[in-house]
């Protein structure tokens, strides 16, 4: 038997009085956090939530997220984390698709969460977390989370689940078609968190990790929350990433471990006045979620005297699949080597291994691979073939076994019969001193099928013409690769985790596949 909540319970037994969570002036010990999770589990059981039921969460990076997450697990139910930026129709879709019987949300999200909840008859309970002393009026029939915490005992006999029972359903971003729920088991999530803590990051009880990544996303959930809770460390929480606030918290709480997406590193690196914050406690930095521009990595490492370790994974792989390990010299631009217990290959469109140094699709096998997509057997069969999960990512493997992501299969541009990988061009663009953000997309072209376009945002105070940037790329890229057009924007659209949303950059006819 295995319930992921054991990581909180074991740390509570070891060090009940240790600070588990910080949110500015508020601190919770492990004993307090575990007691709160027990109360929530008891409250959910009293409402009729049964083992195997799905319970959705639409909560920010506050202690409520952690206590509700583990409370749901203790009740034997499955956690369905929702993006806090969802609009009501997106809330409706995810509640309905996941068969959620309850939704726990933050009072600030009621405007979208409540209408979405009301549209789903099978979702019976709306539970609202509130800030201390809040006077926000709750929708009719909604239950304050505070009532569950006040009315239920601090002890609860955690429901014993099996290792292959579903612990979490993480919805993919839906870049093609509607989002699908990846079913991740207790074993998937437990092993990924413990391997991150013990073998990859050396997380200890002395670790202070910054929860800047949204915890509803797999990266923040496994690599920050679960890994630090398992190790008995401390999590200091940032409900919304803002570079100045992040720097303040990192200095105030002597943060030793930071995990972020490349955009976060860029903003921390370029924030005016960043030098006034003491980040000397910082020991480990991890990047994931999307490819880290090598120039940004080198500049951050130099400025803060750290080494950013880049890793790779997907929601479907719990998420970590490969990593630059601390005991091996990292290779900038590489996603490292497979983590313990995981096999990765690079294959052609027939599933055959390609030679070292040649491009192909990454396939993954091991304890991190999901059970499948919830209620989607056909999509599962397409993604997992002969025991291997097909990632959709284009990469190569070098002679040392390190993997290098080159692009998404779906992002690849075919220009006049030549394969063009946007990541390669984006690396060139990020090398220009005036470029703040860059994305490369394919646009329809009558003669060539697709043409290459760069979409960029400039750093404050910098100017550049389209012709100048095209010439810069032309000097550094093969003739079929360099962008023929450039679009300048103030900023590029991003997901809640900081990934650039390429689908919002493409012309409508291209996005529709016309």
Q: How confident is the model at residue 406 (pLDDT cuts 50, 70, 90)?
A: confident
Assign domain 6-16+27-183 to its CATH architecture.
3-Layer(aba) Sandwich (3.40)
Question: Average pLDDT of 440-448?
Answer: 85
In the structure encoding, which two tokens stand for residue 441, read together?
């997309």
Q: How confident is the model at residue 510 (pLDDT cuts 50, 70, 90)?
A: very low
Its pTM stands at 0.84
Question: Average pLDDT of 1-17?
Answer: 98
- Give residue 477's pLDDT: 84
- Above 50 in pLDDT, residue 176? no
State how far the alpha carbon of 247 is from the alpha carbons of 152, 217, 251, 476, 489, in Å.
38, 22, 6, 36, 27
Percent of the chain with pLDDT over 70: 97
SS (H, E, C) 448-502: CEEEEEEEEEECCCCCCCHHHHHHHHHCCCCCCCCCCEEEECCCCCECCCCCECH
- Domain residue limits, the chain: 6-16+27-183, 412-511
Overall fold of domain 412-511: GMP Synthetase; Chain A, domain 3 (3.30.300)
Query: How does pLDDT run across 189-206, given as a tens digit for each residue?
Result: 999 999 999 999 999 999
- Above 80 in pLDDT, residue 462? yes
Q: How confident is the model at residue 511 (pLDDT cuts 50, 70, 90)?
A: very low
Q: How do strand 208-211 and strand 257-260 relate by DSSP bridges?
A: parallel
Query: How does pLDDT run across 250-293, given as a tens digit for each residue?
Result: 999 999 999 998 888 988 998 999 999 999 999 999 998 777 88
- Above 80 in pLDDT, residue 463? yes
- Above 90 in pLDDT, residue 439? yes
Q: How confident is the model at residue 177 (pLDDT cuts 50, 70, 90)?
A: low
Question: Of the given ranges (46-50, 103-107, 216-220, 501-505), which has the lowest mean pLDDT?
Answer: 501-505
Partners of 445 in the β-ladder: 449
């Amino acid at each position: 038997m295995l319930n992921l909540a054991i990581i909180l319970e074991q740390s509570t037994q070891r060090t009940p009085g240790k600070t588990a969570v910080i949110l500015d002036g508020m601190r919770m010990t492990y004993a307090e956090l575990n007691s709160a999770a027990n109360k929530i589990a008891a409250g959910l059981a009293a409402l009729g939530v049964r083992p195997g039921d799905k319970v959705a969460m639409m909560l920010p990076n506050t202690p409520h997220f952690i206590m509700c997450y583990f409370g749901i697990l203790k009740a034997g139910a499955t956690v369905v984390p929702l993006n806090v930026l969802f609009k009501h129709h997106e809330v409706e879709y995810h509640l309905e698709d996941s068969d959620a019987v309850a939704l726990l949300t933050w009072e600030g999200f009621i405007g979208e969460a409540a209408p979405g909840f009301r549209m789903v008859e099978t979702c019976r309970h709306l539970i609202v977390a509130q800030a201390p002393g809040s006077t926000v009026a709750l929708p009719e029939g909604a239950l304050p989370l505070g009532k569950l915490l006040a009315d239920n005992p601090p002890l609860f006999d955690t429901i014993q689940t099996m290792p292959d029972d579903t612990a979490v359903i993480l919805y993919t971003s839906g870049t093609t078609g509607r989002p699908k729920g990846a079913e991740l088991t207790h074993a998937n999530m437990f092993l990924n968190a413990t391997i991150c803590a013990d073998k990859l990051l050396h997380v200890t009880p002395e670790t202070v990790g910054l929860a800047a990544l949204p915890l509803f996303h797999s990266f923040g959930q496994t690599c920050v929350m679960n890994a630090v809770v398992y190790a008995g460390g401390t999590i200091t929480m940032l409900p919304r990433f803002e570079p100045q606030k992040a720097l303040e918290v990192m200095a105030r709480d002597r943060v030793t471990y930071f995990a972020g997406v490349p955009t976060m590193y860029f903003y921390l690196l370029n924030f005016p006045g960043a030098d006034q914050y003491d980040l000397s406690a910082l020991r480990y930095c991890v990047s994931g979620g999307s490819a880290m521009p090598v120039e940004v990595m080198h500049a951050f490492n130099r400025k803060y005297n750290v080494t950013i370790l880049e890793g790779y994974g997907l929601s479907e792989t719990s998420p970590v699949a490969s990593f630059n390990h601390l005991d091996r010299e990292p290779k900038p631009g590489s996603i490292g080597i497979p983590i313990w217990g995981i096999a990765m290959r690079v294959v052609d469109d027939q599933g055959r291994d390609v030679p070292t140094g040649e491009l192909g699709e990454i396939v993954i096998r091991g304890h991190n691979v999901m059970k499948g997509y919830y209620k989607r057997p056909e999509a599962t069969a397409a993604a997992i073939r002969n025991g291997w999960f097909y990632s959709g990512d284009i990469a190569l493997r070098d002679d040392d076994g390190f993997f290098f992501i080159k692009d998404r299969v779906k992002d690849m541009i075919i220009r006049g019969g030549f394969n063009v990988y946007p990541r390669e061009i984006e690396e060139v663009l990020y090398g220009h001193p005036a470029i703040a953000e860059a994305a490369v997309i394919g646009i329809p072209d009558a003669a060539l099928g697709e043409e290459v376009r760069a979409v960029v945002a400039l750093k404050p105070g910098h100017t550049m013409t389209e012709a100048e940037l095209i010439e810069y790329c032309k000097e550094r890229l093969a003739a079929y690769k360099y962008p023929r057009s450039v679009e300048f924007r103030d900023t590029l659209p991003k997901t809640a985790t900081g990934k650039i949303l390429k689908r919002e950059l493409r012309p409508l006819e291209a996005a529709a596949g016309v």
